[in-house]
Amino acid sequence: MMSTECSLLLATRNQGKRRELETILKGLPCRIVTLEEFPDAPEVVEDRSTFLDNARKKAQTLARHTGLLTLAEDSGLEVDALDGRPGVYSARYARGEGSTDAENIERVLLELQGVPLAKRTARFVCQAVLYESDKEIGQAFGEVCGLISENRRGHEGFGYDPIFYLPEYGKTFGELPASVKNRISHRSGALREIRVILEGRFRR
């Protein structure tokens, strides 16, 4: 086993995100550690008004708790016709904590009823932050633009993927294989930059 010096903690309990992060970071010379190895890690309340501040809060809290190099990301969906909602509330849009993906999708579709496809522009955004020894050592942002479809399509991915339509592919993220999503997504955009920072850090 590598030393904790070469371990990277992924600060998320979201299994969908975790799978994507592990795939995108594959091949780095470090052991990827998840919160399952820290059952007593504090639950971080995402109560900040920006993705960056939420990601910072998660990274700092969990780096402090574990003493490990820690990567946190906060991400969500911004819909133009809804003035940017659900935004930082994406995970709990339907009815607060405990909202399911299906309920969140339902609320967005309901709020967009009657809005034509061309006006259903939206983006997924991802803000990633790296923390080590109580210091922020990097941050990166990624986004991907698309349209909110009128119905759910496909079962791949997680969250709002079945209603996030990419005109250039003629498919939603719910219909596209993970290999394509992981190449073009907001998360992969941000994580590509984080990967460069980590590669430099592990070369030292």
Contact residues: ligand IMP, CB under 6 A = 14, 46, 74-77, 90-91, 104, 124, 157-161, 185, 187
Closer residue to ligand IMP (CB): 29 or 42: 42
Question: One of 74, 80, 101, 134 is an active-site residue; which one?
Answer: 74
Count Cα neighbours of 60 within 13 Å in the Cβ-side half-sphere. 11
Least distance from ligand IMP to the Cβ atom of residue 192, Å: 15
Helical residues (DSSP H) of 12-156, grouped into ranges: 15-24, 51-66, 101-111
Contact predicate 66/43, CB 8 Å: no
Residue 75 or 149 having the CB closest to ligand IMP: 75
Min dist. Cβ of residue 128 to ligand IMP (A): 11
Q: Give the Cα separation of 94 and 107 in Å (integer).
A: 6
Q: Which is nearer to ligand IMP, 160 or 165 (CB)?
A: 160
Report how far residue 182's alpha carbon sits from residue 124's, in angstroms, rounded to the nearest whole number: 13
d(CA 187, CA 17): 9
CA–CA separation, 154 and 85 (whole Å)? 23
Q: Say whether the peptide bond before residue 177 is cis (omega within 30 degrees of 0).
A: no
Q: Which residues contact 118 (CB under 8 A, 6 or more apart)?
A: 147
Nearer to ligand IMP (CB atom), residue 102 or residue 196: 102
Taking CB positions, which residue lies at the least distance from ligand IMP?
A: 159
Q: At residue 189, what is the residue type?
A: G
Q: How far is the CB of 47 from ligand IMP (least distance, A)?
A: 11
Nearer to ligand IMP, 7 or 185 (CB): 185
53 part of the active site: no
Output the six-digit token pair for 88.
């930082």
Closest separation between CB of residue 174 and ligand IMP, Å? 9
Least Cβ distance, residue 3 to ligand IMP (angstroms): 29
Active site residues: 74
